[in-house]
Amino acid sequence: MRFADAAVALAASLWLASGLAAFADDMAPPTPRVVIYPGDIIREDMLSDLSPDTARGAGQTAETRADVLGKMARRTLLPGQAIPMAGVDNPRVVVNGASVKLVFVDGGLTIVTYGSAMQDGATGDMVKVRNDDSGVTVTGVVRSDGAVQVSGS
């Protein structure tokens, strides 16, 4: 009976240790594995763990991979260096000059038209769009599908 208890305890401690190691890997500050250029969307395969003795520099830097995964690089990010949070941003869904769908919803009424974006925008950003039909400039919120939701006010 003692051997079985010891075996279970050993297996549990090994499982816990492997889980903690994986958790520690997820919590280690990331650094680029390759050069990441402005406009690139940061993927898991582009990152490795930052060496603990690497200088972090001034300003806020990414503490975990979750801080930067799926974000867009705003400047060139170099391997072996900490990733400054000012160097990443949410990816742009709307691009300046591109044609975008304008959506107005009021109760059961939905009006859809098209316009030209006058600025870049990520999901949730307020952007200006020039209505192609009327030439009027409206402001709306960028949706995740790339459309711009405008309100009646």
Residue with more model confidence, 18 or 97:
97
pTM of the model: 0.63
- Name 88's bridge partners: 73
DSSP-derived 3-state class of residue 143 = coil
Considering the domain architecture, whether residues 114 and 73 belong to the same structural domain is answered as: no
Q: Do residues 114 and 122 touch, judged by C-beta distance below 8 A?
A: no
Pair (71, 12) in one structural domain: yes
Domain region containing 126 = 92-150
Query: Phi and psi at residue 60, in whole multiples of 5°?
Result: -80, 130
Backbone angles phi, psi at 150, to 5 degrees: -110, 155
Domain boundary among 89, 110, 141: 89
Q: Are 41 and 91 in contact (CB under 8 A)?
A: yes
> Are 8 and 83 within one domain?
yes
Do 125 and 82 have their domain in common?
no
Residues 47 and 71 in one domain: yes
19-70 per-position pLDDT tens digit: 544 444 456 899 999 999 999 999 999 999 988 777 776 779 999 999 999 9
Q: For residue 73, is pLDDT > 90?
A: yes
29, 63 in Cβ contact below 8 A? yes
pLDDT at position 151 is: 86
* Secondary element (H or E) of residue 13: helix 2-27
Of 89, 112, 136, the domain-final residue? 89
